[in-house]
A and B are shown apart, each in its own frame.
Chain A
Amino acid sequence: MSEVFEPRIVAFVCNWCTYLGADLAGTTRLEYPANVRIVRLPCSGRIDFNLLIKAFEVGADAILVSGCHPGDCHYNTGNYHARRRWMVFRPLLEVLGFDMRRLHFSWISAAESRKFQQTIKQVVEETRELGPYQYPVPPAATSGKGHEPQKSHFDAAAAQQRAREMLEAKEVDVVIGYGSSGPVFVRRVEDVSRITCEDTRLNLTTYLAKKEVRAMGRPAILTKPMDAGALVVLERESQIESGAVKTIPIGEPGAGDFSDLDALLALPPDARMAWWAAEFSRCTRCYACRQVCPMCYCERCIADKNRPVVIDTSPTPVGNFAWHVTRAFHLAGRCVGCGACNHACPVGIDLRLLNMAVHRAVDEHFGFNVGADPKAQSPIGSWAPADHEEFIR
């Protein structure tokens, strides 16, 4: 028997256009390869990226996502939302070195049976040439980039002074500051000396989600230049009320540095994928990245959902890939670049690079400044007619 590789294609299609187009292809006897498994969903806007990742996990060699043409959506705008999410998801996968030739997106209407036939044929042929999809096997010994925690020098005396004033004036009930090792929660004026700003790895706004901290009353928080943006995002997402949290800014703002991301992007995709496989191979799923993140305030994270399991909890190459992609994507338009996840990772995975990719995508495509305006609409929850779609068939 000859060993012909038959690619497995999973097509996630919308109920109202592409599925009907496929149906029409069947009734009009248009033949197309049997390699495709169709998964019908109400709308392309419903297609969660975890479904795509899951498809690859269980053996898909390529994915097709297809919905109604712009203007045709049964729910008016679902396909626009899908298009916009792809504009952010694709740069994320590119940084990971994912083979983008295995991801296909098309608009196929209920009448376009021939387009459906042609698209499937093309996708199958292209995938046949690529060969089976395989998760990269991490090299046995890894040489990740890692990071050294930076000891920053901030003006502790000024922060102490401000904390004292706020507590004395009873403007706030607690000042959350940086101590000699980790954060300190200062409730009495005589304790402000505990704010020494020696260990400043965390973004202290993360404690606003904690009920014990909320119970202390009105807080003031020491914020490093990149940290304060988190308060804007939390307000945008109705987690805190406007002006409810006082800040004590420390440090001078610097410019965002994307040079590490550019260096990674200069590598060929295979090398990027291998590099990330090595990085992720060290991940034990301690979730320190998630727990220190001010934006990861979900009461039950998608990674902890077990009915059904959305993301494998096992720290395998497959599970870790799904976890880190999902987290980065969930931070799209929300990550403020404070770097707390990087500092928290015990095994030095440079998670910041994933967040930077997404950050740059929302900036370049939508001109969105994450930490600027609490009233601005989230870039992932909105869309624009001008959103580009050169990646859509």
Chain B
Amino acid sequence: MSEIISSDNLRKLADEWIGQGIHVAGPQRSAGCVLYLPLLEPANLLLDGFVHPANSAKEFLFPKTEALYAYRIEGHDVKLVEQPETHVPQILLAIRPCDAVAFPILDHIFNWDFADELYNARRRDTTIVALACSVHDANCFCTSVGLGPASQRGADALLVPLTEDTFEVRSVTDKGRSLFAGKTKTDNVAAMAAAGPEPRFAAEAVRRFAAANFEHPLWAEHALACVGCGACAHTCPTCHCFDIVDEHSARVRNWDSCQFSLFTLHASGHNPRPDQGSRQRQRILHKFSIYPEKFGEILCTGCGNCTRNCPAGLGVLPLLIAIEHEEYLPA
């Protein structure tokens, strides 16, 4: 037995949620790009015809800029100013499984040595409705990191395309069940998830290579084309590094990227990661070696956004494939 919903009814449901004051976000076409954006008009919700939005869904739990607190300087005193609660209940609708799974992975870091209440509060108030993939492109590699096009982890409910305009609703948690309770039709057809991309590399081999080859010509060779921007990290569902600055009487955290030269620059002028090779190595090490050793999980969901958005066609995938096959030119 399965629960079925048509795309029309799904959009109507989204409209109801919006009417209830719930913040709904989902993939939409913004002229040239597909992006996860706040949903104001349910008709704009994209349910097919795209592989992955150019951004990731992390920004709805971990915004690109966020004030931790504000302050006022009065004479010799610094007075803290209460920040208004900015989050409202939200539903992330039709996000890809590779975005949904990022949240349980990120939960580790946001609750490791310090429970990040800003993240946690949003996390509690967020319901995640994932949409299984029916297409993939050359940048996708979820199957190489143990996931797949209909992976349920991190989702409260998963929509699996059944026909052109119907979906099977697979409720995963109580949150997801209550969201769709009474809104679906019960039927005895079951949706078949589409085949994922062929596995491209073995994550364990990457971990072994990265852990054993801190110094290796591959890093520098691969990083030659890297221009040092943060497009990979900023569009990654799991990259979570941030910078803290004081601006306009508030202490603000903003997304950062390990690919920026400024990321590790010391006040003395010394930079322990002086070139793109060491920065690319850091990104791979963090995702495939450091994070797994600390938290038992790969910090990568195989969404392919880093490669898709890289102006130089890099991202992690070509490097991971090169590590697997050692297809590199010696310097």
Contact = CB atoms under 8 A, between A and B. Distances in A.
B37 interface: yes
Interface in A155-191: 179-185, 187, 191
A286 B230 contact: yes
Given A144-B31, A147-B32, A284-B64, A346 B309 contact: yes
B254 interface: yes
Interface string B287-331: 000000000000000000001011111100010000000000100
Given A141-B28, A181-B318, A346-B54, A191 B329 contact: yes
Interface string A277-313: 0000010111110111000000010001010010011
Interface stretch (B90-98, B155-163, B220-228): B220-228
Given A304-B262, A314-B254, A347-B54, A309 B32 contact: no
Interface in B40-97: 40-41, 44, 54-55, 64-65
Interface string A134-159: 00000011111111100000000000
Q: Is the interface of A mostly helix, strand, loop or mixed?
A: loop
Contacts of B228: 291
A319 B260 CA distance: 18
A201 interface: yes
B311 A313 contact: no
B257 A146 contact: no
A309 B38 contact: no
Contact of B231 (A58, A286, A312): A286
A61 interface: no
Contacts of B33: 144, 146, 347-348
B229 interface: yes
Interface in A188-215: 191, 199, 201-202, 206-207, 210-213
Contact of B245 (A179, A291, A306): A306
Interface string B204-221: 000000000000000010
Nearest to A287: B229
A313 B235 CA distance: 18
Contacts of B312: 182-183, 202, 292
Given A141-B28, A346-B234, A291 B247 contact: no
Contacts of A291: 227-229, 311
A314 B229 contact: no
Interface residues of B, number: 50
A201 B307 CA distance: 14
Contacts of A344: 227, 229, 231, 311
Interface in A260-291: 282, 284-288, 290-291
A249 interface: no
A213 B262 CA distance: 20
B138 to A, nearest CB: 9
Nearest to B65: A314
A288 B220 contact: no
A8 interface: no
Contacts of A213: 224
B15 interface: no
B44 A182 contact: no
Residue picked from A211, A282, A304, most chain B C-beta under 10 Å: A282
Nearest to A340: B311
Contact of A142 (B30, B54, B245): B30
Given A292-B227, A346-B234, A199 B260 contact: no
Contacts of A348: 30-33, 54
Given A181-B313, A201-B311, A286 B225 contact: no
B106 interface: no
A157 B271 CA distance: 42
Residue picked from A202, A211, A213, most chain B C-beta under 10 Å: A202
A207 B225 CA distance: 8
A316 interface: yes
Contacts of B229: 286-288, 290-292, 344
A344 B247 CA distance: 28
B26 to A, nearest CB: 11
B140 interface: no
A185 B311 contact: no
A343 interface: yes
B17 interface: no
Contacts of B37: 141-142
A351 to B, nearest CB: 13
A207 B35 CA distance: 30
Interface string A331-344: 00000000010011
Interface string B245-269: 1011000101101001010000000
B243 interface: yes
A132 interface: no
Given A286-B234, A347-B35, A182 B225 contact: yes
Given A179-B313, A348-B32, 17 more contacts: A141-B38, A141-B40, A142-B37, A182-B311, A182-B312, A212-B275, A284-B64, A284-B255, A285-B234, A288-B230, A291-B227, A304-B262, A309-B247, A312-B247, A319-B65, A347-B33, A348-B30
20 contacts: A140-B38, A141-B37, A144-B33, A146-B30, A180-B313, A182-B310, A183-B225, A185-B224, A187-B329, A285-B234, A286-B230, A288-B229, A288-B231, A288-B309, A290-B229, A292-B312, A304-B262, A313-B254, A319-B247, A347-B30
5 smallest beta-carbon distances between A and B, as pairs: A146-B32, A182-B313, A181-B313, A146-B31, A344-B311
